[in-house]
Amino acid sequence: MCFVYWIYDDTCRSEFDSGYVGVSEKPPFRLSSLRRLRAVPHNAKQRIIFEGTRAECLARRRRLRPRPAIGWNKVAGGYRRGGRKRKNRFGRSFDRPKSFGRPS
């Protein structure tokens, strides 16, 4: 089973235009990972918005994130990226998420 989840904080209005929408078989682990990477705020919450097969979940995410840069998502949704990530000359991934930093 696979899930579409929405990660949000108090500044987010809806899953259609704010926060982060993703697909995972283990959403709580994904939230922890995104917090460690500082891709989402440390106080972000997570809500499951759909449950289904991997293909159904990717289609749902594609509808919620049809183009890049919606909410905290960097890329358009619904496309499984596999293989190695491209790196710049410093060894960092080109699609590295924006850091929200640590709380004061």
Provide the residue ranges of all domains of the chain, joining segments of one domain with +.
Answer: 2-64
Q: Which pLDDT belongs to residue 99? A: 57
Q: Which pLDDT belongs to residue 89? A: 60
pTM more than 0.85 = no
Low-confidence ranges of the chain (pLDDT < 50): 82-84
Q: Which pLDDT belongs to residue 84? A: 46
Q: Which pLDDT belongs to residue 65? A: 94
Burial 57-79 (b: 16+ CB within 10 A, else e): bbbbbeebbeeeebbbbbeebbe
The burial class, CB within 10 Å (0-12 / 13-18 / 19+), for 14 is exposed
Q: Which pLDDT belongs to residue 16? A: 94
Pick from 27, 8, 28: which is nearest to 17 by CA? 8
Q: Which pLDDT belongs to residue 24? A: 95
Tell me which H or E stretch contains 7: strand 2-8
